[in-house]
Chains A and B, each alone.
Chain A
Amino acid sequence: MGWPVNGLPILSILIALPLAAGAACLMVKANAARWIALIATLVEFALTIWLWQQFDPNGAQWQFVESQAIGGGIGWKLGIDGIALTLIALTAFLMPICIGASWRAIEKRVPEYMAYFLLMEALIMGSFSAQDLFLFYIFFEGGLIPMYLIIGVWGGVERIKASYKFFLYTLFGSVLMLIAMLYMRSVAGTSDIPALIAYNFPKGAQTFLFLAFLASFAVKLPMWPVHTWLPDAHVQAPTAGSVILAGVLLKLGGYGFIRFSLPMFPDGSAQFVPLMFALSAVAAIYTSLVALVQTDMKKLIAYSSVAHMAFVTFGLFAMNRQGIEGAMMVMLGHGLVSGALFLCVGVVYDRLHTREIARYGGLSDNMPGYALLFMVFTMASIGLPGTSNFVGEFLSMVGTYKASTWAAIAACFSTILAAAYMLYLYWRICFGTQRNADAAAMKDIDLREWWLLAPIAVAVFWMGLYPESFLKPMRNDVGRLMARMERVAPKGDSLPTPGHPAAKAEAHE
């Protein structure tokens, strides 16, 4: 096939640019490394905007396709659809912010740190654009290495334990997926993802294949009960690490469901809809309750991530348009909002070096700018109309309701609980009396921090007020996914019936 339009291998460039910049970072001193990383990620973001403009929402499913055989049954095959495009844009958007968030917070071994971040960006870009099963696996798993080092070297007190837990948990999930991939190639005779999406695996095999992929994506997303690595990893990771973990890496799990589990094993997926709903319901309610009692800010937000990710699985396994689009919007919205919330934690952590909620209080007095932005993101996290998460959660709930009333009820409870724990958090930090002198003496956010948080706030409102910009590129792809699963989509227990005219109503008593 060769190179895509304009003769520019844009996806390869998106992968190569951070790699090259990462290598350059290792050669220079701390300050130069910061600037190289910032400029590289900004250029990457600019390229992504260009990519978005070039993407034709009504065009072919796979665009910017590149294909280069390597031999041995693996190829350098890249290509994206609208779903991958939005996630790539999210990644490219958050990366410069992460670099900015680490500008002062990271003091030791800066060049290495920046190099790992850039390496991770390259691997994430690769995961979203890979069109070969094994190429995807290599990128997907490769992301563990930089994250392991970021948590382990620059993390908090318990960083070693957290880094091991993160690595081994995710590795364990992924290796089962690898076996499934090997089986798929030996049965279908190809590792090309578009070809596999069209391939119909035997029904019995789909059950096992689905479970094997579930092992990987459920850990990555994470779903209850395999979420326990997440709070540890989040709490111990440096701020930017948490941002990228919550903002992007978790989305790889959801992306995996959309790209692999649903279209490749529709029968297997349909079989497990009740299980997925049950797990999501537990996650939505149980982890929300857990979040309610946390005393550590980062841990609270980490648990809220698990609860929010339940909306993704709810929506996806409702298997209807609202559900899937809602799941995608939740992923994008949560990527922004949870990233922003971790940044907000980072802002006060940089000043007071504690994540203990009780140490703060009344910050709206001395940090009004901070209180304002924190409020915006708190509201967005709750899913207030006008913010990004409302669109996603609402769509996801509508989709879920069509499939299962009980699941929708659980999902609704989750939003109520979300309001409870987020407002409680906000109240304890920004309102109330100022209990500690050092917390009361903190300075308001400076220009750099405005630059980090304000763009996210803009994006949050944009997504909340005009979601069409984000829904448009993925509309056709969601349609294709639905066409693939039409046969097996759950019928739903809440079939709306048209109203009966009064005369006929008597016949029904």
Chain B
Amino acid sequence: MSRFAPILPELMLSVGGTILMLVAAFAGRRGSRLVSWLAVALLLVATLALIGAPSHAGPVYDGLIAADLFASFGKAIIFPASAVAIIAAHGWFEQEHEHSSEYAVLIVFAAVGMSVMVSATSLISLYVGLELQSLAAYVLASYRRTDERSAEAGLKYFVLGALASGILLYGISLLYGFTGTTNFAGIAAAFGREAPSLGLLFGLVFVLAGLAFKASAVPFHMWTPDVYEGAPTPVTMFFSTAPKAAAVLLATRLCIEGMGPATDAWRQIMIFAALASIFLGGIAAYGQTNIKRLLAYSSINNVGFALVGLAAAGAQGASSVLFYMAVYVVMNLGAFLCVLWMRDQKGQPVESIDSLAGLSQTRPGMAAALAIFMFSLAGIPPLFGFWPKLLVFQAAVAAGFAPLAVAAILGTVIGAYYYLKIIKVMYMDEPAEPYGRVREPVQGLLMLLAALLISPLGYLLIGALGGLSDRAAGSLF
């Protein structure tokens, strides 16, 4: 039994997910509520199973995965975020007369895939985890079959995702061909032996390109706005949080554990991707009128900042990436919970930014929450979103990349504009037609919780979260 201890959360989720699928198949539409709550419980139990020191520090199963603190940190972000994505779908699909039980099951399987991603220490397990997550995500994107936009989003995501997977696989094959191993440690050793050959460098570039697609970093971000806009809102919320964190963490582990000796080679790529994401995410968001599209660009922008931390490399850089993603996921979940509540009097979802006009007068609580998330995503102190930005800049400065930090920080000013625009619409414009009431106390509670975490009260967590992310990053070295 102890052989399975390192993968206990994954086992629980896989077995539980399969059982839930059977329940969903037999119970039909009636069981959807039960299935989704069970899935939430399953994810929370899996999170609880992470508590305590990881049982195996090093790689297990012949170096396929590692059950270290880094992986646990990633899973501690992914599982709760997935659970929130399931809760967010409450009252969403039921209204649309579609089956929502499979939705929860798919999210559970995606969570398994993501947890393999963050623990992978081999190119094979990396690919398997990534594909498990992606397959679930393709289905989720097109979950509202009757909606053209959703179907389009699913198809687009699938075609482009398949292309990215191909690129990734090609890179993996090159790395394997030139190093003779799929193991991260072995690859690192090969990189360390001599100056990397052209083949190795090609492999590195292709693998990173494939991962950049998953993390929606520029220049592989094209799918993001369309898919985010087209997918059902709870799915968009899911895409912009857990899978993104998983992809960034996976890239972090691969870069540091698997290609540590070639830091100079991948660092240039990261610097470019980081700055390009920050600026493109910031500038392209200007003209958007759809809130989901805007948040898509915001997520591109934010991934850029996380990559600044990765470009800094080293323990401090890795730690800042972890901290950043943890806070980012909370901010984004909160922002999307607000978007979820944007519904007209008939309960139909509304997505235009104009419809937010005067929200501070019609729904002050929701407006305040969304304002907190927006200021926080923009990185304006005293909100907590400022602190992770500070950490990545600090890592960059400490690693001797002050110009990178300067460029990135100027990007925050550009980005601040469109976050401010939402605040402006909510607080300074004349009220538009008020939204209909949404009776979802659990979602309201989550929104409140996220807002509290992101408010200046979050600074009280700096010690705990910072210590945790430091130790998690430390397990990579």
Contacts and interface: CB of A to CB of B under 8 A. Distances in A.
Contacts of B391: 72
Given A182-B394, A186-B397, A71 B413 contact: no
A76 to B, nearest CB: 9
A349 to B, nearest CB: 21
A148 B380 CA distance: 12
Contacts, number: 96
B413 to A, nearest CB: 5
20 contacts: A70-B459, A74-B462, A109-B361, A112-B360, A138-B381, A139-B382, A152-B427, A159-B428, A160-B424, A160-B428, A164-B420, A164-B424, A167-B416, A175-B409, A175-B412, A175-B413, A178-B409, A179-B393, A179-B409, A182-B394
A290 interface: no
Given A72-B462, A159-B428, 15 more contacts: A71-B464, A71-B467, A72-B391, A138-B456, A141-B380, A149-B423, A149-B428, A153-B428, A168-B413, A168-B417, A179-B405, A182-B393, A182-B398, A183-B397, A186-B394
Given A72-B466, A137-B381, A175-B409, A182 B397 contact: yes
B428 A70 contact: no
Contacts of A171: 380, 412-413, 416
Interface string A172-202: 1001101100110110000000000000000
Given A70-B460, A112-B360, A185-B394, A152 B424 contact: yes
Contacts of B420: 148, 164, 167-168
Contact of A71 (B386, B402, B424, B462): B462
A22 B444 CA distance: 23
Contacts of B402: 179, 183
Contacts of A142: 380-382
Contacts of B386: 138, 141
A178 B427 contact: no
Nearest to A152: B428
A158 to B, nearest CB: 12
Interface of B: 360-361, 375, 380-382, 386-387, 390-391, 393-394, 397-398, 402, 405-406, 409-410, 412-413, 416-417, 420, 423-424, 427-428, 456, 459-460, 462-464, 466-467
B413 A182 contact: no
Interface of A: 69-72, 74, 109, 112, 123, 134, 137-139, 141-142, 144-145, 148-149, 152-153, 159-160, 163-164, 167-168, 171-172, 175-176, 178-179, 182-183, 185-186
Closest 10 CB pairs of A and B: A71-B463, A72-B462, A138-B381, A72-B466, A142-B382, A152-B428, A175-B409, A182-B397, A141-B381, A138-B382
Contacts of B387: 72
Contacts of B459: 70, 74
Contacts of B460: 70
A168 B424 CA distance: 13
B453 to A, nearest CB: 15
Contacts of A176: 406, 409
A428 B305 CA distance: 55
Contacts of A168: 413, 416-417, 420
Nearest to B387: A72
B444 to A, nearest CB: 18
B397 A172 contact: no
A130 to B, nearest CB: 11
A310 to B, nearest CB: 27
Given A71-B466, A123-B382, A179-B406, A149 B393 contact: no
